[in-house]
Structure 1
Amino acid sequence: MAEKVKLSKDGSSIDFVQSDSLPTSLKKFRQSPEIEGFYRFIFENDLQKEAYEILDRIIIQRKAKKAGAKKEAAAAAKEEKAAAAKKDLKAKKK
């Protein structure tokens, strides 16, 4: 399928085969030449532990960001509900 990943002589860059279209499914994404080359690079250079740690950090950051956004949305909804209740109370007093 894809050839071995090519590392530059000084080790500062990696050559991957790039495709023109984006994969439409998760299975196709994992089998795309770019991702396959990335997996191969990690395996051939024995970087599994480092890759796992990096991906784990990214997942934790995304979960924290998502939880923060969820709390923020809940707080905004609560404020909106309180404002609507206050407006209804004023309308009833008149």
Structure 2
Amino acid sequence: MPATDAHLTPEQRRRRTVRREALAAALVKARQAAGLTQTELAEAADMSRSAVARLEAGTASIGSDRLWDLAIALGMRPSALFAAAEADAEARDTLDGV
């Protein structure tokens, strides 16, 4: 479970937001490329449509098992979703020291 905002420094909150937004954009792009609606993706990944919507809005985080399910439903590898998120310059900048 992700940390609540109260336990994060302002910089940690900023990084979390940037990363969530980058992954959200990657997910939307992948879903659209696959020709799926949020409802279709949710059904294929055995998730609720509202969960997909929250992820695409960047307002929720996702566990590794769910990420695998989404990637499979999209016909791609989980690493491809992360690679697309890392292509966002601001998200890539959060990888200090890597």
TM-score, normalised relative to structure 2: 0.29
Specify which structure has the higher proportion of strand.
1
TM-score, normalised relative to structure 1: 0.30
Higher relative contact order (Cα pairs below 8 Å, separated by 6+ residues): 2
- Which structure has the larger Rg over C-alpha atoms? 1
